[in-house]
Structure 1
Amino acid sequence: MAATRRLVADRSANFAVMTALCTPVALALTAFAIDEGSLYNERRAAQSIVDLAAITAASNITNAQQAVLTTLADNGITSVAVQQQGTTVAPTATKAVVQIVPGRYTGVSTIAAGSRFEAGKLPYNA
């Protein structure tokens, strides 16, 4: 009983014990932060490639599908399925899915940003 009281009262190794208890938590949080940062960078890179494909398609509106596929392939995304309007294609671990919807874009600032693009409206410009 006296040995237990002495052990509880002894404060000489508290720093080592607290370090041993906190280190796994700190390592787990660090790993989580690195994974989240990596995912964020991957999303930004993918968004940049998709934006580039959209710009390429808009500049070649008569052959938009081929322009998108070529742009994606040129940027390392070679396995792509094109989802046609009215159909559903599920992406897989090895195949990306894109949907190409031509339409009309009006850049008038008085129109709400979400209403400036009208899918399917002729003549196409976007």
Structure 2
Amino acid sequence: MARLSIRVDLGPDHRLGPGKVRLLEAIAEHGSITAGARALGMSYRRAWMLVEAMNRGFGAALVESQAGGRAGGGARLSALGAEVVEAYRAVERAAQEAAAPALHRLAARCPEGAPPTKT
């Protein structure tokens, strides 16, 4: 089945796409940047850099961290972070629905599993 992969360009150095949104969802699901990164096969450093870039781009924290200690550390999405994920997923759903007929036509012309031909 053909599907779209959406990247939203919000500014010159500010983009939001499926990888960043999956990272936010993984952080929300696993309760920490470390565990979210691990679930995606990503290094903590890379995940932290992506979170910092998103925080800068939106001008506020999408992920709120809690330092370790007796109660343990962790991270969760801020209200803005949850809103960003939902808005991105809404854009994705709307685009997929709008593009479905054209995607179906394209997919019908591309036998599944067939390697692309050279032009």
The TM-score normalised by the length of structure 2 is 0.28
- For the pair shown, which has the larger CA radius of gyration, 1 or 2? 1
Task: Give TM-score scaled by structure 1 length.
Answer: 0.27
Task: Choose between structure 1 and 2 for higher RCO, CA contacts under 8 A separated by at least 6 residues.
Answer: 2
